[in-house]
Structure 1
Amino acid sequence: MLYRAFCNYQLVQLFGKRYENGITNSQLGVPIILTVGDESNPRSTVEEVYNQINKDLDEANVLLVDYKKPNNSHLDLRVAQGLKARVALTQGNWSIAAEYANKARNGKTLMSMAEYASGFNDYNNKEWMWGSHVNEVQTQSFGNFGAYMSRNFSSTVIRSCPKAINSKLYNMIPESDVRSTIFDKTGKHVALELPSNFSKFPYTSQKFLAVSTGDSRCDIPYMRGC
């Protein structure tokens, strides 16, 4: 039910008009499917979809108490609490969002500045609450997150059009802010030793790093406790 809540939450934001707090959200959302079958289900209203999402989340927040997950690719109580907070934010329920965000992050510690700048590519990171691990038997080419979002994998899109931040926004980040460490104002990324055929533009990001220029594996974060 937690996966269902997550999926419906993503879908209703894509295919329905946004949720507006304080009104009856009668605009069409997505079908609510609770059983396996091939029936043609009509679209439910956005309000109905969010009601089902919250029903699933509330049940998950009870059923997952004391469950110990084997690794961060699995869901647990923290993830249920975190998703409850995200949904509450979307619905404008600020007090519920704050309550469940605090529950989800309770006991979690933040990364050091060095860890923050290390590549966002390890799902064992102490801040991560939920993520996907890409192991060595999975594709090492263009099907991975790192093939499009990293700074160092040798794909055409990364070599020619690396991700960058707007310079005006970058200049608003104080040097003492750890987020300043994941962008290179020069774009040369000297520490990464990028090959000569990589385009080097100012203000490019190095937040996500793949295993190497020839290996696009990069674990994917879905939720952090920060």
Structure 2
Amino acid sequence: MLAERQGQAHGLRYALDLADGRRWFELSAARKDAAADRTPRFVALVRDITELKRREAELSELAFYDALTGLPNRRLLLDRIEQVLLRQAREPTWCALLFIDLDDFKAVNDRHGHGTGDQVLAVVAQRLRACVRETDPLGRLAGDEFVALLLDLSPDAATARRVAQRVARTLVRTLRAPLHEVPGIMPSASVGVLMFRGQHPLPALLAAADTLMYRAKGAGKGRLSLHWFGRETPGAHG
């Protein structure tokens, strides 16, 4: 026991399931002075820290999740993708990095106000979440830019490409639907789809996917552009 060896111990946290739900407690203990031949005695202090744990959870969510959309923010998103890339070094599989940018979003803010723009972003986030698997990292990179990583598409490159195209086309089509939550807004998004396998530097992957997204915008907006990372052949449009 730490308090017996060092004389005191502080900050042991534990949870108990009580009749009114789970409660968190913090235990501190101190050894009382006693003669060498006496059994040591201790003073223990227990306090309920359930509210503190709730506030800590809220602060953690603010640190890692976008308050507007509820999606992982840039910090958490990039960390999750980095974790995937570490696994790719050990077990390479075909993946697709999707760089998603809303078309003419500045015009929405200018014409309808930032409050409406925020509503649009919140609805877009819900639609994006519905288009990818729960295990696929998805988050808001910045402004009206979102990134999704489609994992473990297939051992076969051609099959992986078809799956990535299907998901990206579904995403583009879903985002193009009228926003009933925000009448009068018809959003669209351009998507860069970068196919890759194995571990690569994340900045290089993001830059390549970003370039593909702008290629899609240049082809007419509301479209996708697909390319294999590291290859010189032109991307496919859809």
Larger relative strand fraction: 2
Q: TM-score, normalised by structure 2?
A: 0.21
Structure number with greater Rg is 2
